[in-house]
Structure 1
Amino acid sequence: MVRMPERARSSLLTSDLPLAVVLVVLVALAGVVLGRMYAGGLLTLLVAGAAIGSVLVSVVCRRLPSWLVAPLSVLGLAAWTLWSLRLAADRADLSGPLAEITGEAARNGIPRLLTAMIPVEPTPDTVLVPVVAAWLAGLAASEVTLRAGRVLLGYLPPVLLYAGAVYLVGPNAEPATRPTLVFVTVAVLGLALPGRVRPATADRMAGLPPKARAVTRIRLVGASTAGVAVVVALAVLLGPALAGMIGGRPVDPRRYVEPPRVDSLDESPLIRISGWALHPDQKLLDVTTQSTDDADPTVAPARIRLAVLSDYDGVTWQVGATYRTAGRILPETAAAPGSIVETVRQELTVAELTGRLLPAIATPREVAGARVAYDPATGTLIHPEGLTPGLRYTVTSAQERPEVNLLAMADVPAGAEVARVLRVADGVPESLRQLAEQLSESAGAPYTRAAAVEQFLAEHYLLVPDAPSGHAYPNLEFFLFGPRNAGGQRGTSEQFAAAFAVLGRLVGLPTRVVVGFRPSGDGPVRAGDAYAWPEVLFDGLGWIPFDPLPQPDTEPRPVEEALRPPPEEPPEPEPEPSAEPAVTPQASGASDGPADAGDGPPSVLLVAGAAVGGGLVLVAMLLLTLLWLRRALSRGRLERGPPGERVGGAWREVTDALRLAGHPATGDLAATEVAVVARDVLASAHGAGGEPAPVAAVGVTELADLLNRVAFAPGTITDQQAERAAAIARAYVAALRGARPWWRRLLWPVHPGPLGRDRADRRRRNARA
């Protein structure tokens, strides 16, 4: 039996083992700090296990050659990492083979750790990096400290790991005061341990002559003194700066990482309401309520929320969310005082719903079965990979029922914190401002004002499924005041909710629009269940939903004259020039008597030929004049004036082309909706001719975006953008004209319609001026 030498055993007990414990504690404290932003204590245990395993391998293998320790430690790292990932996957209910889980975690570990929502759920992709970093730090520290005998240098990996953990947590947890004090105390105790001089160094010192030994000791003392001087100098220089940072707010590294983003369809899902309304039987979801705590059976089923839209720029209501990758557990928000909170657990299965927005009852607290990203400000969930048929997930929500009896006395908040939901975009029509003022004249309290807007919309307007989409200022103005025989005063829940939210902000109410579903119970959720509703924020009560939709089978009342905008005065007609009496002079010397017999009437053929020839000349001159005027009009629109006017001219070229093609864009459509119509017209025209439509080469949507910028930010349009708009307009007009029959192509450039409409537009602008 081989016995360990007594000197080696005493070295292990007096030097290696205490130092090994010190290193384990230093590495494990990084897990304690990092675990403050994780849900539960799993990450702290996994990091502590990595610290123990890495240091233990170095202690056991300290008698082996140094080149053999690293491979053995890497094998231990692989075993511990795989076990940690399997444990984290089981805790998070993530199924699948371990190889697939490991590959997914390796690819997305760092991005998801930096974009994860606080508290971070310990899943494979959020525990992989801390566990591997802790093991490597423990390996480097133990090898430098125990094998090389350099304790201070061996402290560097744990210090860097600890500093990285503090930086990664940032402002998302309380200051790590106690762990830092423990870290410093344990490090000092490690430095104070006896027997830290390497045996080889001691043997060399003993074999030196007395004179050389004294010189060596002087050098060691000098080096130690210089090191202490450097430390003291750094403390003096950096101490005040570090002390000044104690009260400051640490930097959050998540701000440097771009969170998951969604496309325009998910950013503004309000435009999907009209499409769903036209296909009410389309199955979008399946819902099963698994459990409901303290549920009131007399209350209707809860609304399923798809997205919360808080930002309005005068054209589109948008979510404006910053999504952070979240685990199963979502951050909690405090409930309103006195409100009843019910826990609702539902299982949802996606059918034909598309996009990334994930439906759930407000307010979600736990999501299982699907990877999600979450915006705490709006409570909106997304599935970053996109929805697919058959996706099944379970949501546990805290459904809050506020004390409605307090609404009449409740106030609304104000200030910078709610400026986002109080902002009214520039360009509000004067008719909307006047209507808001008249509705709020007799209403003092905030709830009374909200109820007045709700009642006005419900009593005066008609809910129809075939109303066109659009909630920009012109759309809302047409919805509120347009003639009924022309499609005004009727709309889907899109117009009702958007009109309520805009009028509410005009009377000082913080409002937002919510898009979701109103199911009748468990079972399929169809497109006909989709609708939008407005919400108002009250102090102490939170967001309260309102329902401005009219009751079924009720006839809307006509809008009172006092609430209508004053009619626009028609422009004064231009005075017609007075007709002067025609004077036919007679030639001097002409005879008043009968003509000579030789001067008889001209032949019929000669008269007919002269008439036809003169007519053709007049027609040709007219066509040439129209052609010249049309080309001058196009050049003036596209090449003259400021960039904003040229973008508007390019848009008028497109709308004139639609009129010439027999598809005029009505005034109730927004620019983005006209762009959709323009693309469809071009596609159908080329499809009828058997040729593929050059829709990709005609950026009508880009032109609509430029037009909206002209309306709401006119000073930002550049010459290059105006030239781009002109190119888009020319390409579209040429493509649409090329799809017409040959005789319509010939008449296209001489049609007088654009000239008349341009003249009418000029008259209207002059009348307004």
Structure 2
Amino acid sequence: MVRLLGALRAAVAPLALATLVALSGVVLGRVYAGGLLTWLVVGAGVGAVLVSVAARRLPSWLVAPLSVAALAGWTAWSLRVSADSAGLTAPLVEVAADAARNGIPRLLTAMIPVEPAPDTVLVPLVAAWLAGLAGAEVGLRAGRLLLGYLPPALLYAGALYVIGPNADPAIWPTVAFAAVAAVGLAVPGGRAARSGPDPTAGLAPGVRAAVRVRLAATTAAGVAVVVGLAALLGPAVAGRVEGRPVDPRRYVEPPQVESLDENPLIRISGWALNPQQKLLEVSTRRDGAAPAPGPSAGPDGNGPKGDPAAGGGDPGRSPRIRLAVLSDYDGVTWRVGATYRNAGRILPETPTAPGATVETVRQEITVADLTGRLLPAVATPWEVSGARVAYDPRTGTLIRPEGLTPGLRYTVTSAAERPDSNLLAAADVPAGDAVARVLRVADGVPDPLRRLAAQLAEDNGAPYARAAAIEQFLAEHYRVVADAPSGHAYPNLEFFLFGPRNGGGQRGTSEQFAAAFAVLGRLTGLPTRVVVGFTSPGDGPVRAADAYAWPEVLFSGIGWVPFDPLPRPDEEPRPVEEDFRPPQEEPPPSQAPEPTPEPTQSAPPVAAPARPAEPAGVATPVLVGGGVAGLLLLAGAALVALAWLRRSRSRARLFAGDPGSRVSGAWREVTDALRLAGRPVGGDLAATEVAARARAALAEARAEAPPPGNRRDLLAVAHLAGPGAPEPDVAELAALLNQLAFAPGTTTVEQAERAAAVAAGYTAALRAARPWWRRLLWSAHPGPLRWPR
């Protein structure tokens, strides 16, 4: 019996340490889906303590290698289990390497609830094992149990910090943590405790009494200190209980989309010019109730038509595939502006609107020529397998952080929701700060757009009636064409709506129809956004001709409802002048604005130029001696290095890569030259506008500072332009850039060589027009090496 009691006392401390580590898994598991993470952390804590207890008779230096070997085995098994749970089929070595590289950022950017995948399990698992190992070695082997509680306590605090405000306060686990720690300290350690030396043994009775009094006084002083600290810090700690914890996720940048995906609306025109390009291969299976009538159909059946691509008008057709949702508009471009969080296979649930019909759509999608990071899916996805994704719950859109690759195959299951169209006629629209983002109208709205919006809203008071009036006006007065240039800034929309028919106005792609609807809707008080996606064939290829954009309006209690402002193919549009006549003093636009180039092909946005510093005066050589010589040598070496790097950058831009990249590089050379000359151009300008500014900048530079001694630069201009050729004109380069933007892959090697000659010639001419001292610093200016591309 005595031995049994001793064994039980000896087991209290190891059990306390293992329980403290396990409680950290309980706390962290509250933000994970399911209980897998909790059990894996519990196993890690128990395993680490058991290894230390089993190896207590071995030398201390041997325990750590044995424990690490056991940790490797437990980690490998745990990664395999979590990979199977997450539906990952990659080899274990590849899964483990990816988890080791990206474990911490993915854990802090994962969506709540976090799926227990290898990359979100590895860090808590290893931390729990190491905390158990350190606590057992210090608390059991060294006999410092209170100090051995420190690693589990730090692990517990780290778990609380990681979950932050994403879970309810961990009250009962914290109480249990304190209780277990107290029990471990209160129960004697059995054999180890009894075998410890008596500090008063061998002392004289008087000395022994004095030592015992001193020990009692020290203990009383320690208790007094603890009680005092509790009295001082208790109220402050209690006051923080109701406070909102700091979310560590705000310190880690979540996955971002590329510039091409930030405004995918401008890709519509490029896809329209290559209608047979295969973007996806889709296989669809639909379960559940049949769809309700399309939300774009009027309540009386005679309003705006239903959209078969959305399921309206033809319940047998598959719902449209959504690529991106664009909520932000600054008067120039529509942008995604989403915040994506790493997500597991199961995505968060989205509430269903009252009265809506929901059917389950399961699609197996294989990527062909679609590029970027945006992952196509039917709205609203709730399960994705075959690809690691990041998810924005506000818009219901997906991205693949690694980017799309040809042959990528994934399966997405979505809850296709169709609102009750009978509720739309009386539905209201929300207002306030919560929807300010989708109600915002950027400054600079042309007056004709405001008058048209006011005219459409004048006789339509209800929100749905206003939306239907805008939809019907666009469908009846404008034509869809495939060769319309891209662009949805205010000038582009003004020309689309009011430009003369014989001059290219009143015609466009779905880009202009959707953007015009969204802007007019916001001008009438409707919260709107633009969606880019594809019509779905159900089974078969999705081609570039299937890509289009549509607007959506947010209704209270119903959600986002799509509209279809595209005209019927069998109807001839009526002239706009029949229903809208602008004042005589403001005639409609007569010239088409320049198209918007794709962000990957256009000049990068630039800030105010960093002008070369004026040369400082040279100090007296007598005063500084050899120091001046050394500084001059360093400065000369730096200038030579900068000049060499600049020259290498220019040659790489103009003569390396395919013809398209060389044309883009030539354009960047011109914009860098303008910035070096103190005349930067903004990234919101069209290519032809930049060319006009470049021509004016060269003329002004020559007029302000005629360079009499720049014969070498003039000879370079003549050599690059060719014998007998006129002076290089950036307008020619702008035309090549527009060709690259709207017809990718058609640029020839000869055109790339001509673009290089124009860029180099213009740069040399602009440099020749600078003062002599600025020409010296031109080639060594570090700006082009660090300016964003």
Residues 738 and 745 in structure 1, CA contact (< 8 A), matched pair in contact too: no
Identity percentage of aligned residues: 66
Equivalent residue for 1:133, pick from 127, 140, 145: 127
State yes or no: 1:88 paired with 2:63.
no
How big is each residue's C-alpha offset from its partner over 1:609-660, in whole Å with a ceiling of 9 and x where there is no partner? xxxxxxxxxxxxxxxxxxxxxxxxxxxxxxxxxxxxxxxxxxxxxxxxxxxx
Aligned to 2:43: 49
The runs of at least 4 consecutive aligned structure 1 residues that moved more than 4 Å come to 6-10, 670-679, 690-693, 700-706, 708-711, 725-731, 733-744, 746-749
Alignment-derived partner of residue 253 in structure 1: 248
* Per-residue deviation, residues 496-551 of structure 1 (Å, max 9, x unmatched): 00000000000000000000001232110000000000000001100000000000
Is this contact kept in 1: 2:281–2:368, CA < 8 A?
Answer: yes
Contact residue 374 and residue 382 of structure 1 kept, 8 A:
yes
Q: 1:31 to 1:678 in 2, by over 3 A?
A: closer
Instruction: Give 2:555's aligned residue.
Output: 538
Counterpart of 1:745 in structure 2 is 726
Residues 1:385 and 2:402 are matched in the alignment:
yes
Residue in 2 that maps onto 1:240: 235
Q: Say which SS state the counterpart of residue 682 (structure 2) adopts.
A: helix
Equivalent position to 2:414, from 364, 373, 397? 397
Per-residue deviation at 1:215?
Answer: 4.0
What corresponds to 2:389 in structure 1?
372
- Give the corresponding residue for 1:341: 358
Letter in 2 for 1:311: D
Deviations 1:229-265 (A, max 9, x none): 3333332333232222222221110100011112211
1:201 to partner: Cα distance? 3.8
What is residue 492 of structure 2 aligned with on the other side?
475
Amino acid at match of 2:205: P
Residue identity in the other structure for 1:206: A
Kept after mapping to 2: 8 A contact 1:119/1:329: no
Residue 273 of structure 1: aligned partner = 268
Deviations 1:140-177 (A, max 9, x none): 22222222232222221111111111110111122212
Look up the match of 2:472: 455
Conservation of the 8 A alpha-carbon contact between 2:721 and 2:728: no
Question: CA shift at 1:666, angstroms?
Answer: 6.3
Q: Which residue of 1 aligns with 2:374?
A: 357
Which residue of the other structure, out of 402, 406, 409, is the alignment partner of 2:426?
409
How big is each residue's C-alpha offset from its partner over 1:326-382, in whole Å with a ceiling of 9 and x where there is no partner?
Answer: 111111121111212212111100011011110000011111101111111111211
Q: Which residues in structure 2 correspond to 1:57-136 (within 5 Å)?
A: 57-136=51-130
Deviation at 1:97, TM superposition (A): 2.6
Please tell me whether the aligned partners of residues 431 and 477 of structure 1 are also in contact (alpha carbons under 8 angstroms).
yes
Q: Which amino acid aligns with 1:166?
A: L
Q: CA deviation at 1:295?
A: 4.2
Distance 1:505 1:746 in 2: 48
Match for residue 206 of structure 1 among 188, 196, 201: 201
Is the contact between residue 418 and residue 510 of structure 1 (CA under 8 Å) also seen in structure 2? Answer: yes
Q: Could you tell me which of 663, 666, 672 is aligned with 1:694?
A: 666
The separation in 1 between residues aligned to 2:315 and 2:351, in whole angstroms, is 26
Aligned to 1:532, the other structure's residue is in SS state strand
Deviation at 1:206, TM superposition (A): 3.0
Match of 1:486 in 2: 503
**Which residue of structure 1 lines up, in the alignment, with residue 12 of structure 2?**
18
Say whether residues 1:286 and 2:258 are aligned partners.
no
Does the 8 A contact of 1:698 with 1:728 survive in 2?
no
- Alpha carbons of 1:487 and 1:358: their partners in 2 closer, same or farther (altered >3 Å)? same
Structure number with greater Rg is 1
Secondary structure at 1:113 match in 2: helix
**1-structure distance, mates of 2:486, 2:664:** 28
SS in structure 1 of the partner of residue 576 of structure 2:
coil
Partner of 1:640: none
- Are the equivalent residues in 1 in contact too, given 2:466–2:524 (CA < 8 A)? yes
CA distance in 1, matches of 2:14, 2:599: 73
TM-score (structure 2 length as normaliser): 0.74
Verify the 8 A CA contact 1:372 1:382 in the aligned structure 2.
yes
- Partner-residue secondary structure (3-state), 1:174: coil
| Aligned equivalent of 1:715 | none
- Cα distance, 1:135 vs. partner? 0.9
- The answer to whether 1:300 aligns with 2:312 is no
Equivalent of residue 514 in structure 2, options 491, 497, 503: 497
Question: Aligned-pair distance for 1:563?
Answer: 2.1
Structure 1 unaligned residues grouped into runs of 5+? 1-5, 571-664, 712-721, 750-769
Q: Distance in 2 between matches of 1:96 and 1:281?
A: 34
Q: The residue matched to 1:158 in structure 2 has which SS?
A: helix
Report how many residues are paired: 633
Alignment partner, residue 643 of structure 1: none
Work out the CA distance in 2 between the residues paired with 1:687 and 1:356: 25
Distance in 2, matches of 1:28 and 1:133, equals 12
Q: Is the partner of 2:424 in helix, strand or coil?
A: helix
Q: Identify the match of residue 529 of structure 1 among 513, 538, 546.
A: 546
Q: Which runs of 5+ in 2 are unaligned?
A: 292-313, 605-652, 687-692, 703-712, 731-789
CA distance in 1 between partners of 2:123 and 2:129 (Å): 10
Q: Residue 36 and residue 59 in structure 1: after superposition, are their counterparts in 2 closer, same or farther (change >3 A)?
A: same
The TM-score with structure 1 as length reference comes to 0.76
Give the direction of change, closer, same or farther, for the CA distance of 1:89–1:728 in structure 2 (3 Å limit).
Answer: farther
Q: Distance in 1 between matches of 2:375 and 2:728?
A: 52
> 2:649 matched to 1:668?
no
CA displacement 1:84-137 (0-9 Å, x = unmatched): 111111111212332222221111111111111111111111101111111111
Q: Distance in 1 between matches of 2:315 and 2:347?
A: 29
- Looking at structure 2, the residues matched to 250 and 691 of structure 1 have their Cα atoms a distance apart, in angstroms, of 52
Distance in structure 2 (CA, Å) of the matches to 1:386 and 1:352: 12
1:229 alignment partner AA: A
Change (3 A) 1:348 1:403: same
Contact residue 28 and residue 51 of structure 1 kept, 8 A: yes
What CA distance in whole angstroms lies between the structure 1 residues aligned with 2:699 and 2:111? 43
1:747 and 1:530, CA in 2 relative to 1: closer, same or farther beyond 3 A? Answer: closer
SS at match of 1:361: coil
1:34 and 1:474, CA in 2 relative to 1: closer, same or farther beyond 3 A?
Answer: same
Please name the residue that 2:457 is paired with: 440
Q: In the TM superposition, what is the alpha-carbon distance from 1:36 to its structure 2 partner?
A: 0.8
Query: Which amino acid is 1:697 matched to?
Result: E
- TM-superposed CA distance for 1:670, in Å, is 4.9
Q: CA RMSD in A?
A: 3.4
The 10-residue stretch of structure 1 (472-481 or 213-222) with the greater mean CA deviation from structure 2: 213-222
* Contact 2:13 2:189 survives alignment (8 Å): no
